[in-house]
């Protein structure tokens, strides 16, 4: 048989897995797919309504709907990469009979699928934004993109750790379900850190996700700033998770394959 080098093998495995994941998404549950694309819009709508209901129509320095859309796409990306990675080893166990499929390939492929979906959602939001004349003026597009990109690496690292933990301790998935719910409220998704009291600020800023969110919306709106963002803190969290994940993976890969 034709000898292929590592990169060729990796690319053909990624292509095969990516198309397979997409196929599975489309063929398995139409409702799930529908929900994936409708959920972010519903989230924005609900929180806009809650705000109007609680505080009335206050004059604002930034567009709250755009603010929510920005935060929720980022948070949903984090959540879905983590959740999909967590189940990747177990869901693809049957594929490890093909020796070129390594467990980590399944995480990467699922991550790419999530990015693909996130991309479509962002595009839809942008189109809607332009159509309805929302505030689409970006203060610093590069920093917003950097925010999304670093969050992507953070999510992948977190997902890798979760996948390994979940393989050996299945109860992890239950804890993560609760953690995600908690993080939704503790990550500056529908408020800015500035709106909180100083005591609450220090608590919320212990959560690394808050920094990513602050970076994203702080560099999007002229009215907001990124004074609370601690790059060093974000970096340490990402590198630590990535290192721990890869280190554990390297040690346990064979065990995961033949489990």
Partner 1 sequence: MIELTNVTKFFQTKHGKKYILQDVSLTIPDHQNIGILGRNGAGKSTIMRMLGQIEFPNSGKITSPNTFSWPLGLAGGFVGNMTGRANVKFVCRLYGKNEQEIQTIIKKIQDFSELNEYFDMPIKTYSSGMKSRLSFGLSIMFDFDYMLIDETLSVGDTRFKKKSKAAIMQKIETCSVLLVSHDMGTLREICDAGIVVNEGKMYYYTDIHDAINEYENINKKSG
Which positions lie near partner 1, rule CB under 8 A? 1-2, 4, 8-9, 12-13, 15-16, 19-20, 23-24, 27-28, 93-101, 254, 257-258
- Nearest CA to 163 among 58, 63, 245, 43? 245
The angle, 0 to 180 degrees and rounded to 10, between the axes of the packed helices 141-168 and 172-185 is 150
Rounded to a whole number of angstroms, the minimum distance from the CB of residue 163 to partner 1 is: 19
Rounded to a whole number of angstroms, the minimum distance from the CB of residue 23 to partner 1 is: 6
Rounded to a whole number of angstroms, the minimum distance from the CB of residue 33 to partner 1 is: 13
Strands annotated E in 32-161: none
Cβ distance to partner 1 smaller for residue 9 or 184: 9
Cβ distance to partner 1 smaller for residue 98 or 181: 98
Cβ distance to partner 1 smaller for residue 96 or 233: 96
* Cβ atoms within 10 Å of 172's Cβ, excluding its own: 18
Contact between residue 195 and residue 213 where contact means Cβ atoms under 8 Å apart: no
What letters, b where the CB count within 10 A reaches 16 and e where it falls short, cover 30-46?
eeeeeebeeebeebbee
Rounded to a whole number of angstroms, the minimum distance from the CB of residue 228 to partner 1 is: 45
Rounded Cα distance between 178 and 166, Å, is 15
Cβ distance to partner 1 smaller for residue 27 or 58: 27
Rounded to a whole number of angstroms, the minimum distance from the CB of residue 16 to partner 1 is: 4
Cβ distance to partner 1 smaller for residue 127 or 259: 259
Report CA-CA distances (Å) from 45 to 18, 48, 49, 68, 138: 32, 5, 6, 9, 22
């Amino acid at each position: 048989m034709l000898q292929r080098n590592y990169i060729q093998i990796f690319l053909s495995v990624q292509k095969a897995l990516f198309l397979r994941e997409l196929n599975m998404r489309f063929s398995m549950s139409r409702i799930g797919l529908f929900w994936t694309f409708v959920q972010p819009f519903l989230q924005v709508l609900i929180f806009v309504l809650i705000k109007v209901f609680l505080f009335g129509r206050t004059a604002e320095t930034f567009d709250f709907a755009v603010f929510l859309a920005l935060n929720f796409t980022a948070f949903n990306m984090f959540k879905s990469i983590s959740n999909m990675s967590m189940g990747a080893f177990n869901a693809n166990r049957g594929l490890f009979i093909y020796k070129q499929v390594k467990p980590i390939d399944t995480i990467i492929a699922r991550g790419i699928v999530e990015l693909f979906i996130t991309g479509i959602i962002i595009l839809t939001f942008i189109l809607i934004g332009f159509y309805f004349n929302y505030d689409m003026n970006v203060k610093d597009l590069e920093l917003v993109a950097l925010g999304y990109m670093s969050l992507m690496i953070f999510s992948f690292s977190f997902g890798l750790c979760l996948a390994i933990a979940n393989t050996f301790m299945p109860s992890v998935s239950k804890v993560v379900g609760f953690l995600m719910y908690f993080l939704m409220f503790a990550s500056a998704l529908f408020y800015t850190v500035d709106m909180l009291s100083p005591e609450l600020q220090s608590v919320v800023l212990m959560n690394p996700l808050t920094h990513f969110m602050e970076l994203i919306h702080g560099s999007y709106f002229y009215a907001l700033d990124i004074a609370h963002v601690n790059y060093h803190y974000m970096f340490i969290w990402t590198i630590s998770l990535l290192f721990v994940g890869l280190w554990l993976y390297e040690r346990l890969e064979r065990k995961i394959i033949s489990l």
